[in-house]
């Protein structure tokens, strides 16, 4: 029975973490941490497909930093690449980025207003679970599984207490 409790707490904890990351990734908190999912292999092996990256705006970006920036096409999710080169145009920094596995730097030059933030760290494959949680079935499972586990645990406790009470009543 003890192993079931451990499994129960691990599953509920994992689902709670996914729910928290889902909430954090959806909240539009500007100038703060953002949790995003990497959808391509352009940064492999440094950042794997399906990883989540935690990004935060910083005051200065340097060559070698991994940054996340808005795509030129607003229908495409933000892109995470490494700063390959930097130059100054009209007194402002302009960045040339490149995915680690890409053969050539990106054609588009990135300005500071395009940058979402610098990647602070990544967690491999966790983004797959967060993306799944964004879908209706995933959201239902994120709510349904913990709710069913909690309800099941409470029913078990109630049944156990009722049986105890019945045994005490039978003895008297």
pLDDT in tens, 74-85: 888 899 999 999
Residue-level pLDDT at 25: 62
Q: Are 114 and 55 in contact (CB under 8 A)?
A: no
User: Phi, psi at residue 21, to the nearest 5°?
Assistant: -65, -35
Residue-level pLDDT at 120: 92
Q: Are 108 and 72 in contact (CB under 8 A)?
A: yes
Residue-level pLDDT at 127: 82
Residue-level pLDDT at 11: 78
Q: What is the CA radius of gyration of the chain?
A: 24
Residue-level pLDDT at 87: 93
Residue-level pLDDT at 75: 86
Residue-level pLDDT at 172: 60
Low-confidence residues in the chain, pLDDT < 50: none
Residue-level pLDDT at 170: 65
The architecture CATH gives domain 2-171: Ribbon (2.10)
């Amino acid at each position: 029975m003890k192993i079931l409790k451990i499994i129960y707490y691990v599953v509920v904890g994992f689902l709670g973490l996914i729910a928290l990351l889902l909430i954090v990734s959806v909240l539009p908190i500007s100038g703060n941490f953002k949790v995003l999912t990497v959808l391509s292999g352009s940064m492999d092996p440094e950042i794997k497909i399906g990883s989540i990256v935690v990004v935060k705006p910083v005051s200065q970006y340097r060559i070698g930093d991994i940054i996340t920036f808005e795509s030129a096409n607003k229908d495409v999710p933000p892109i995470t690449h490494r700063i390959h080169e930097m130059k100054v145009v009209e007194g402002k920094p302009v960045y040339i980025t490149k995915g680690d596995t890409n053969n050539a730097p990106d054609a588009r030059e990135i300005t500071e207003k395009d940058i979402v933030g610098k990647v602070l760290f990544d967690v491999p494959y966790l983004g797959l679970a967060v993306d799944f949680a964004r879908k209706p079935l995933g959201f239902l499972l994120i709510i349904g599984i913990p709710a069913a586990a909690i309800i099941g645990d409470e029913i078990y406790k109630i049944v156990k207490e009722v049986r105890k009470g019945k045994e005490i009543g039978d003895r008297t």
